[in-house]
Amino acid sequence: MDPTTAIQATQLAGTVQHDFSVWGLFLQADIVVKTVMVILGASSIWSWAIIFDKWITFKSLHIKANKFETSFWSGEALEKLYKKVQAKPNDPLARIFCAGMHEWKLSADGSGGFDGDLRAGLQQRIDRSMATGINREVSLLERYMTFLATVGSTAPFIGLFGTVWGIMNSFAAIAGSQNTSLAVVAPGIAEALFATAIGLVAAIPAVVAYNKFSTDLNRYHDRMDAFSAEFSAILGRHFEQGGRR
């Protein structure tokens, strides 16, 4: 081979070298693969924002619930505690307590007491009011959980779509260049596999977080149900005794 031709070939080989860094793989990818990467990257960022928000929320909920239950079981009069927290109930247990007390006071003020057949109906209304409050709180806590579940279940398949598309481009490059060397195939395959990697990076934290927060939500739901039942039993004893705590 002529030395000049060899030098030109060497220079040409140097110019077609691909950048296999993360940013380089993104820039060199096909528009479809780029779109897949952007969607997965945005989904991952939003998932982490939800994860941090839920983690802080559940941690704060348990602290506030412990504080409220300490006040509730301290022996303080129900009406006094109600007046203290009704202006700004800052946690679900306090709001459930206020819902039950609000129904109790409305019925007491309207009927003048708890005598007669009104007791059974009042007890049902109080229980229904607290159950409605629990459902409302659970709905608020479930917010954005569906997004985590969706990302966890779909992100790997979206990444796989990008992988398949990238491999198709690699085969097209082979057919166009009539060259089956690794240098021709490697860039497209690397870009394709990078899309799969981003899909897994988005999916794995979303699945783990969804499972954790679902467990936390179920536990807190049980805690609200237990408090509601205990509070309802306390009010039931008041009805039977004809007095108030």
Average pLDDT, rounded, for the chain: 79
Q: For a pLDDT cut of 70, what percent of the chain falls above it?
A: 73
Mean pLDDT lowest among 4-18, 179-193, 208-222: 4-18
Phi (first) and psi of residue 144, to 5 degrees: 70, -5
Q: Do 130 and 236 touch, CB atoms closer than 8 A?
A: no
46, with CB counted inside 10 A (0-12, 13-18, 19+), is: middle
166 or 204: which carries more pLDDT confidence?
Answer: 204
What does each C-alpha distance from 223 to 1, 53, 90, 97, 129 come to in angstroms?
A: 82, 21, 16, 13, 17
- Read off the pLDDT band of 45 (50, 70, 90): very high
CB neighbour burial string for 65-96, b if at least 16 within 10 angstroms, e if fewer: beebbeebeeeeebeebbeebeeebebbbbbb
Those residues with Cβ within 8 angstroms of residue 68's Cβ, 6 or more apart along the chain or in another chain: 85, 91, 93, 94, 97
Question: Which tens digit of pLDDT belongs to each residue from 54-101?
Answer: 999 999 999 999 999 988 888 878 888 888 888 888 889 999 999 888
Among residues 43, 16, 40, the alpha carbon closest in space to that of 28 is found at 16
Question: Which tens digit of pLDDT belongs to each residue from 97-143?
Answer: 998 888 887 766 655 555 555 666 777 888 888 999 999 999 999 99
Residue 122 tokens read as 């009042």
DSSP secondary structure letters along 98-151: HHHHHHHHHHHHHHSSS-TTHHHHHHHHHHHHHHHHHHHHHHHHTTTHHHHHHH
DSSP secondary structure code for residue 86 in this structure: S
Tell me how far apart the alpha carbons of residues 114 and 245 are, in angstroms, rounded to a whole number.
14
Among residues 118, 81, 74, the alpha carbon closest in space to that of 100 is found at 81
- Read off the pLDDT band of 150 (50, 70, 90): very high
- What does pTM read for this prediction? 0.77
The answer for 234, left when phi > 0, alpha when psi is -120 to 50, beta otherwise, is alpha
